[in-house]
Structure 1
Amino acid sequence: MGIQYRDLAHQLAQKIYAGELGAGQRLSSLRQFAQSQQVSLNTAKSCYELLEAQGLITAKPQAGYFVQPQALAVAVPQHVDFAVTAREVSNLELQIEIQEASIHDQMIHLGSIQLSPNLVPVEALRRSIQRALKHSKPEDFLYSDKQGHRRLREALSAHWAEDGIYMAAEDIYISNGCMPALSVVIQTLTQEGDSIIVPTPNFNGQLQLLASLNRKIVEVPAHANGFDLNRFEQAMRDSGAKACLLTANFQNPLGFCLSPAEKEKIAQLAAQYQCYVIEDDIYAECSFDLKRPLPIQYWDRQGYVIYCGSVSKSLSTAYRVGWFCMPSRLNHLRAQLLTRHVAVNTPLQLGLADLIYSRAYREHLNRLKPCLMQQVEQYRQFLIQAFSGIDIRLNQPKGGYALWLQLPEAIHSLDLYRYAQQQGISIVPGIVFGEEQRYKNCIRLNAGHELSTEIRQAIECLANWTRRQLDYVVLDSKSA
């Protein structure tokens, strides 16, 4: 029964959060549910009890189980349209300032997207690293293969194959996290002054990386459900860009997940226009569905998709192990890749390989997904409650734990960011997620930590400042 009842509870929870099971709706009886799912009565009972403990359903004597009202709803952020042109990334100094502030250990962390230490399987990691050292070979303590330790590359290949993603160990390069992987690939495929296509709003860290590498960007408007593939194709055809940088699964900050048809189309366009897709799939294992979504790379037939990722978002930001996977058509670039590439700590590689082979990593993911889904929804509900009376819009991610909050037009997120800093609160203002201050009234928040009393108070602090600012706007308009 172990994992099975949690899987069933996770599936029902998804339907409740998505509105497929409405408030007050009666669920099947325990016996009916057990029969329909082909499980034991005890498994069905444990499933319902877990949902009841999570506050999603309630039991009524002599009547059965019913869906609890899921409180408040709010519209998703509005789509911002703009012309597609090549340009340099601005605000580099502000980007760096915000990045440094987001990891300050004295701040309340609503800014940097990272998991709570309480969600990290510390004991399993410790055991894996100890086992890896115990069974290591003498050559493991010499200079390692710059492509990455063979055991980890084979472990990742086997791990992904369970999810239907087939990648040969020979094509995998181990890196010190996802951003170093992206940096190596971008520098190898493009030159300074070249343009990279990115949908915006887009992860500010990627924009900062492109700015530091002196690459221009061609922005394509993104929205709650993805981005316009017609505009994307236009950018590929007309902009002269040599590559695009995409996150198809739970994009930061909007949280969308592209459909299989859209991913297949992107892979086809990449081959048609010979424009490489650098795919950052760092959030795929943080899906709210137990089944991991496939990457764009799955549909790549011509070798124009470079697959990148790491365990930073699914395991720990402190575990600096990532990867990029090069298709065979780029084998001639191997020497350039290894010249730019920095070798990764061998004990960490072997520890992660052990975590995968021991099944501890898979078990961690199975526990993490329902926890994240519930935690993100708790944040959403509290944000809607805290900003009650204010015209806000809020994304509803399908995975990951980034929240994109759109405030009234009169609010400038940089002012809110400065105020939050003074109060010891870290947030990220929307203006660094694209150009021309298009997202100046938006902020991105991290929902990776438990919704503690301290974080609740921080959110209320942001909401109260917003109310005061809106009051000033009303007073100014009356005096005018």
Structure 2
Amino acid sequence: MTLYESLANEYIETIKAQRLPLGSRLPALRVLAKQHNVSLTTATRAYDFLMQHGWIYARPQAGYFVANTLEQDGLPQLTALQSESRDPKQYSPSLGYNASSEFFSPLGTSMIAPELQPTKALQRCIKRVTSRHHKSLFCYPDPQGEASLRQAIAEHFRTDHFAFSAKNLVITNGCIDAVRIAIETLTQVGDTIAISSPCFSGLLDLLVVLSRKIIEIPCSEDGVDLVFYERCLQESRIHASLFSTSHMNPSGCSLPIEQKQQLASLANQYQVPMIEDDVYIELSHQGKPPLPAKYWDKEGYIVWCGSFSKTLAAGLRLGWCLPGRYLADYIKQHAVTCFGVNGLMQLSLAEFIHSGEYRCHVNRIRQQLNLQIYAYRAFLMANLPADTRISLPEGGMVLWLQIPGIDAFKLETEANKQEVDIRSGISFSTHDAYLDCIRINCGWPLTYSDDKTSAYQQLIRLCWLIKTTG
């Protein structure tokens, strides 16, 4: 054990013993270093370790605070699944995996509150670009995407130590569209695709529409069951895989670096393509985003997809794909199914990135989401049954709750009657593995409000419903 790990574990034991209660302020870095006679570097690494494992959180210009009093075994427990290939159509809930409600609730859809977005800066940028490039409105866009946006995205991720060529990138209508094109490029109707379980409900709906079968690979805070997954590859039971690897929706889990490396190795070894849905990669609560599995892909078998929908504005419908060895086929499929992406918006986003506004916004929103996740978890822990398990995400904006004894679908139905939008466990699997689980969005600040549509009032109503719904 290193010196910083030893120091971090001292604090973990202190927090477990409740000598440091929830919300307690910790010593400043220089004070910590002096108290324990260690270097400032060691003190910084100790706090980074505690943040990465969810025990503390940083509040800008205020310091470090105790964030978690749950032990690791308090997280939602995921069930082992059968290894059969399934048609998701046969198991889809009556309204689909991603059923839309008739009303809006901040707890339902995974998104950031509009008031946290850089609306005015983005509007100014769009206005400037419109005045200079109005002719782009009358031209069909390049099927691969505007070169300026591809270059801006490549430079943006190069700053975060993930380097790739803009020539190999394709612009799409959001991440779900990037995934759709990848599925259509790599597989045929009736083919089987391996997915992580639980899986984002929108992806399940997409697989239903595209008539693909699935095998669900169990995934927990420890990562994907790679033994099970490799057995499927060895037996040639799957034609492709579709995994999120960072800050997954709904579980909030992120795969360890070692697993990302292994997924890249398996894709290359068995020459079975893997689609990596990385829409949340930039929303790390610890600062810099993690590296995707694509980083370790040497032969081009990983198709990496992402978008601005979770970080900036879902309505822009701008995403991207790094298709690797499938670039030519991917562009061809993209060209014949949607004829490109709005050129004016592409040029506007390119300028927004180059101006530095996007980088500043992402840095701010990471810190804000860290605070919000902490606030939601603290509220839920104080107001839900003691045996409730709550996920501990290192990024993203959703929490995954397991409430033993609850009928989550019944709870969702009752909540909808009260105009509270949540997602029950049946939305994220074809198996009956998550019947006592729900997912909530934490993208809205949890501040006091009398407005019944506010996140605060919605969360109060949800906790009451959980206590009164069997």
Question: TM-score, length-normalised on structure 2?
Answer: 0.84
**Displacement, 1:140?**
6.2
Alpha-carbon displacement from aligned partner over 1:75-107 (angstroms, at most 9, x marks no partner) = 100121122111111444535485321xx4x43
Give the alignment of 1:456-467 within 5 angstroms: 456-467=456-467
- Determine helix, strand or coil for the equivalent of 1:99: coil
Question: Unmatched 5+ residue regions in structure 1?
Answer: 1-14, 38-49, 58-66, 471-480
**Displacement, 1:327?**
1.3
- Determine helix, strand or coil for the equivalent of 1:353: helix
**Residues 420 and 249 (structure 1 numbering): CA distance in 2 closer, same or farther, change over 3 Å?**
same
Correspondence 1:438 to 2:433 = yes
Is the 1:111–1:427 contact (alpha carbons within 8 Å) kept by the matching residues of 2? yes
Give the alignment of 1:186-197 within 5 angstroms: 186-197=183-194
**Residues 81 and 134 (structure 1 numbering): CA distance in 2 closer, same or farther, change over 3 Å?**
same
Give the alignment of 1:1-400 within 5 angstroms: 19=12, 22=15, 23=20, 27-28=27-28, 36=40, 51=59, 70=67, 72-73=69-70, 75-89=74-88, 90-92=90-92, 94-96=94-96, 98-101=98-101, 104=102, 106-136=103-133, 138=135, 141-328=138-325, 330-332=327-329, 334-387=331-384, 389-400=385-396
Alpha-carbon displacement from aligned partner over 1:89-126 (angstroms, at most 9, x marks no partner) = 1444535485321xx4x432211100000111101211
**Cα distance in 2 for residues equivalent to 1:139 and 1:28:** 53
**Cα distance in 2 for residues equivalent to 1:371 and 1:111:** 19
1:401 to 383, 389, 397: 397
Q: Which residue of 2 aligns with 1:45?
A: none
Is the 1:109–1:427 contact (alpha carbons within 8 Å) kept by the matching residues of 2? no
**Cα distance in 2 for residues equivalent to 1:293 and 1:97:** 29
Superposed CA RMSD: 2.7
**Displacement, 1:173?**
1.2
**Residues 370 and 20 (structure 1 numbering): CA distance in 2 closer, same or farther, change over 3 Å?**
farther
Identity of aligned residues (%): 33
**Cα distance in 1 for residues equivalent to 2:195 and 2:222:** 16
Q: Which residue of 2 aligns with 1:474?
A: none
**Residues 28 and 167 (structure 1 numbering): CA distance in 2 closer, same or farther, change over 3 Å?**
closer
Question: Unmatched 5+ residue regions in structure 2?
Answer: 1-7, 42-57
**Cα distance in 2 for residues equivalent to 1:71 and 1:264:** 29
AA in 1 matched with 2:151: E
**Residues 51 and 155 (structure 1 numbering): CA distance in 2 closer, same or farther, change over 3 Å?**
closer
AA in 1 matched with 2:262: K
**Residues 72 and 340 (structure 1 numbering): CA distance in 2 closer, same or farther, change over 3 Å?**
same
Alpha-carbon displacement from aligned partner over 1:315-358 (angstroms, at most 9, x marks no partner) = 12222101112213543554334222442111111111011100
Q: Structure 1 stretches (4+) deviating beyond 6 angstroms?
A: 31-35
- Determine helix, strand or coil for the equivalent of 2:316: coil
Question: TM-score, length-normalised on structure 1?
Answer: 0.83
**Cα distance in 1 for residues equivalent to 2:92 and 2:212:** 12
AA in 2 matched with 1:458: Q
- Determine helix, strand or coil for the equivalent of 2:214: strand
AA in 2 matched with 1:87: R
**Displacement, 1:457?**
3.0
**Cα distance in 1 for residues equivalent to 2:14 and 2:250:** 27
Question: Bigger radius of gyration, 1 or 2?
Answer: 1
Alpha-carbon displacement from aligned partner over 1:395-430 (angstroms, at most 9, x marks no partner) = 00010011101011x321110111011001100110
Correspondence 1:429 to 2:424 = yes
- Determine helix, strand or coil for the equivalent of 1:285: coil
**Cα distance in 2 for residues equivalent to 1:333 and 1:393:** 41
**Displacement, 1:196?**
0.5
**Residues 385 and 145 (structure 1 numbering): CA distance in 2 closer, same or farther, change over 3 Å?**
same
